[in-house]
Amino acid sequence: MIISMRKNAARAEIDSVIQRIEDFGYKIHTIEGEERVVIGAIGVGDTSACLEALEAMNCVEKAVRISAPYKFVSREFKPGRTTITVGGNVHVGNSEFVVMAGPCSVESEKQILESAELAAKGGAKILRGGAFKPRTSPYDFQGMEEEGLKLLAKAREHTGLAIVTEVMSDNDVSLVASYADVMQVGARNMQNFALLKALGKCGKPVLLKRGLSSTIKELLMSAEYIVAHGNNDVMLCERGIRTFETATRNTCDIVACAVLRELTHLPVILDPSHATGKRSLVPALSRAGVAIGADGLIVEIHPNPQKAISDGAQSLEPAQWLDMMKSLQPYIELWKAERMSTVAV
Ligand code: PEP
Ligand code: MN
């Protein structure tokens, strides 16, 4: 159930509603908006009786049953959009189209500092770079781990860019959270429930990537884990899924961006790099991401992709990255105009 309080309801009224819901045996989760508090009630109980009791309370505007299996992340729960503040001054899911860019892996100080400068020069607001790498082969480079996190922090100091980096295990959540501005959950970990639960308490926004063979519903259920465990700041990422097609590394389910915007209030980010595996395809897919109304992109770039330790083939060359960002501008302007005309839709 979702219970919307009347505008500017008093604290005591909110507490009395929470008490009433708990008396019916439900657990609650609140979202405090500027004008209104919305309460989610989860659990097993007599929903009809509870809804009736709540609707009889003057301070309750609306109490409804939510049919989706994912509750807190559904649009039924929150008809508006979630805006996530990253590193203090970047707002994802707002009237800003946010681009995250950087190498697949942090490889050295020189490489990450050059990448960060390049990312900033192109207009990215967030630097990506993996310090913990989920590799298909155990013999491949596994990442620089804490040393890599330190280099990312150095790159942030140099450029002012926020940092998004992957966390692979619940054991590493507090370590990664002490450096990162956004915690990335890789496709291979989308259903690592221990990790998702730990991220509920990490205090940092999360970028949750869609699993290689996961449905949109499963992606939303994984986001629900993080929110239900206390963290409302989740961005979803379409990064391509596995199909019978072999021309691209993955098959980009581009319409998933639009589907997600219908089903959830959480921001949606497109990863055109892992979706294609091929740098020549990244600019076209990025344009598609802007056009379909994604909230941002996460793009792999490298100062010298030929020398990249991982994902060189899909990493943009410096000039190609700068060109792409320039050529995306007119599309981003249209995107912004549309956002301004559909505020809170
Ligand atoms: C990555 O971002 O480098 C990565 C490993 O992505 P994914 O989890 O989507 O494969
Ligand atoms: Mn990669």
The pLDDT of residue 343 is 57
Question: Is 169:114 a contact under the CB 8 Å cutoff?
Answer: no
Q: Output the ligand 1 site: residues, CB below 6 A.
A: 104, 130, 134, 186-188, 209, 239, 274
Interval 113-150: pLDDT, tens: 999 999 999 999 999 999 999 999 999 999 999 999 99
Split into its structural domains, the chain has a count of 2
Residues 58 and 206 in one domain: no
Overall average pLDDT of the 228-255 stretch: 96
Same domain, 60 and 88: no
Q: Residue 292: inside a domain, yes or no?
A: yes
pTM: 0.91
pLDDT at 138: 94
Look at residue 190 and tell me whether its pLDDT is greater than 60.
yes
Cα 70-335-238 angle, rounded to 5 deg: 40
* Nearest ligand 1 atom, CA 105: 3
Check which CATH number belongs to the domain holding 210 and give it: 3.20.20.70
**What's the pLDDT at 60?**
96
DSSP summary character for residue 312: G
Which tokens in the block code for residue 235? 């961005």
E strands present in 77-151: 84-86, 90-92, 98-102, 126-128
CATH for 60: 3.30.70.1140
pLDDT digits (tens, 9 = 90+) for 285-311: 999 999 999 999 999 999 999 999 999
**264 and 164, same structural domain?**
yes
In a domain, 78, yes or no: no
The answer on 300 and 161 residing in a single domain is yes
In a mutational test of the pocket of ligand 1, which residue from 165, 213, 271, 301 has the highest number of ligand atoms less than 8 Å from its CB? 271
Burial of 59 per CB tally in 10 Å (0-12, 13-18, 19+): middle
- pLDDT 10s digits, 61-111: 989 898 888 988 999 888 889 999 999 999 999 899 999 999 999 999 999
Which tens digits make up the pLDDT trace of 54-64? 999 999 998 98
In this predicted structure, what is the pLDDT of residue 131?
A: 98
Rounded to the nearest angstrom, the distance between the alpha carbon of 323 and the centre of ligand 2 is: 21
* CA 186 – ligand 1 centroid, Å: 5
From the CA of 130, how far away is ligand 1's center (Å)?
9
pLDDT at position 141? 93
- Same domain, yes or no: 317 and 278: yes
Amino acid 289: pLDDT? 98
Looking at residue 301, the DSSP 8-state letter turns out to be B
Q: Which domain holds residue 212?
A: 84-344
Q: Quick check: is 74 in a domain?
A: no
